[in-house]
């Protein structure tokens, strides 16, 4: 068993454990490389079928190719796709750069608040109708209390503090100093009623592992990660006012794997193109404590 086999095996185990333990379970899909690998692993864990809904928080500022890719893959894989959005903030233009708020406040409104209220069922959710290819108001307002997330410990500082099974309170707030130990892969999955659980099957993966796995498995990903001829590509995807491409001539997955193995970005943070990280003093802990994905 090589490194990728071992990572895959552990992630599949965690996914199956989560499905067994938590009945109101969903998986977040940001459309980026990590959560798409997570989706691929979920299909492997359950023999080609993803048995829980996928949730995408649409800020309305995603790069258009991301939304097109999301819907194409959702139809192809027959995913139970749910979309949530902070429509009030968008309508009132309480956003960056349209409104008089900074990037962190915008992230809180369009991502954190939208996620919390989508999961709780307090705000309307849209569900993909596979017959029409359109999103319709979801009549199911059941709260989701278990959420699978494609966070990796090496991606940025606050994510390294997560557990495979990380508890949040009823408001999705995260107490970083009060988390269960996970020794020798003994996972705590028994929590008090009302606890909101984040599940992180990719914690041990690195950026290179992700790309090596995409190459090995031929995982379909958005072309935004590749140089389209201008010598730039996205290394981390997000909203277009706050995400910027890096200098790179990688035109395919093999080129990216080669870049990473040769250490092209060894002294450059993976999320260096995310402007909101800089406004949060270089990390995302402020947002994550309040429920950010």
Instruction: Read off the pLDDT of residues 147-174 as tens digits, 9 standing for 90 and up.
Output: 999 999 988 777 778 889 988 877 777 7
Helix (H) or strand (E) holding 148: strand 146-148
CB 117 within 8 A of CB 84: yes
* pLDDT of 50 above 80: yes
Alpha helix (H) residue ranges in 231-284: 253-261, 275-279
Q: Which residue has the tokens 């029409």?
A: 132
Do residues 124 and 83 lie in contact, with contact meaning Cβ atoms separated by under 8 Å? Answer: no
Q: In this structure, are strands 232-233 and 196-199 parallel, antiparallel, or unpaired?
A: unpaired
Residue range 223-246: average pLDDT?
94
Question: Which residues are registered as beta bridge partners of 83?
Answer: 56, 126
Give me the pLDDT at residue 189, please: 85
What's the average model confidence in pLDDT over 112-129? 95
Give residue 261's pLDDT: 96
25-28 and 54-57 strand pairing: parallel
Which pTM value belongs to this model?
0.89
What percent of the chain is helix, strand and coil (3-state, nearest 5)? 35, 15, 50
- DSSP string over 210-243: HHHHHHHHT----GGGS--SSSEE-SS--BTTTB
Summary mean pLDDT of the chain: 90
Whose tokens are 């359950």? That residue is: 46
Which region holds residue 86: left if phi is over 0, alpha if psi is between -120 and 50, else beta? beta
pLDDT in tens, 69-82: 999 999 999 999 99
| pLDDT at 291 (0 to 100) | 59
Higher local confidence (pLDDT), 236 or 281: 236
- Model confidence at 288, pLDDT cuts 50, 70, 90, reads low
Sequence-ordered strand ranges (E) for 29-138: 54-57, 81-84, 126-129, 134-137
pLDDT bin (cut points 50, 70, 90) of residue 290 is low
Whether pLDDT at 188 is above 90: no
Distance CA 37, CA 277 (A): 23
Torsion sign across C-alpha atoms 278, 283, 289, 293? positive
Give tens-digit pLDDT for 121-152. 999 999 999 999 999 999 999 999 899 999 99
Rounded distance between C-alpha atoms, residue 230 and residue 221, angstroms: 20
pLDDT tens digits, one per residue of 177-186 = 778 888 877 7
- Sequence-distant (≥ 6) Cβ neighbours of residue 117 within 8 angstroms: 84, 86, 123
pLDDT of 178 reads 79
- 191 pLDDT exceeds 90? no
């Amino acid at each position: 068993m090589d490194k990728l086999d071992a990572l895959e095996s552990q992630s599949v185990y965690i996914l199956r454990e989560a499905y067994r333990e938590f009945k109101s379970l969903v998986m977040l899909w940001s459309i980026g490389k990590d959560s798409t690998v997570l989706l691929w692993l979920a299909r492997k864990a359950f023999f080609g079928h993803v048995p829980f809904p996928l949730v995408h928080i649409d800020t309305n500022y995603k790069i258009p190719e991301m939304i097109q890719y999301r819907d194409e893959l959702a139809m192809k894989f027959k995913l139970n796709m749910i979309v949530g959005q902070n429509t009030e903030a968008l309508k009132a233009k309480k956003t960056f750069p349209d409104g008089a708020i900074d990037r962190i406040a915008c992230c809180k409104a369009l991502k954190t608040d939208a996620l919390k209220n989508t999961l709780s069922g307090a705000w309307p959710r849209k569900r993909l109708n596979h017959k029409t290819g359109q999103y319709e108001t979801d009549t199911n307002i059941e709260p989701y209390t278990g959420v699978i997330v494609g966070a990796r410990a090496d991606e940025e500082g606050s994510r390294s503090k997560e557990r495979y099974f990380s508890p949040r309170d009823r408001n999705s707030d995260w107490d970083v100093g009060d988390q269960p130990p996970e020794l020798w892969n003994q996972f705590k999955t028994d929590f008090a009623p009302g606890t909101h659980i984040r599940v992180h099957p990719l914690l041990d993966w690195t950026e290179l592992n992700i790309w090596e796995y995409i190459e090995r498995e031929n995982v379909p990903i958005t072309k935004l990660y590749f140089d389209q001829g201008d010598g730039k590509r996205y290394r981390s995807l997000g909203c277009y006012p706050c995400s910027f491409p890096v200098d790179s001539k990688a035109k395919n997955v093999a080129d990216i794997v080669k870049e990473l193995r040769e250490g092209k970005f060894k002294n450059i943070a993976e999320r260096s193109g995310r402007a909101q990280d800089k406004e949060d003093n270089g990390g995302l802990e402020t947002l994550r404590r309040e429920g950010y994905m």
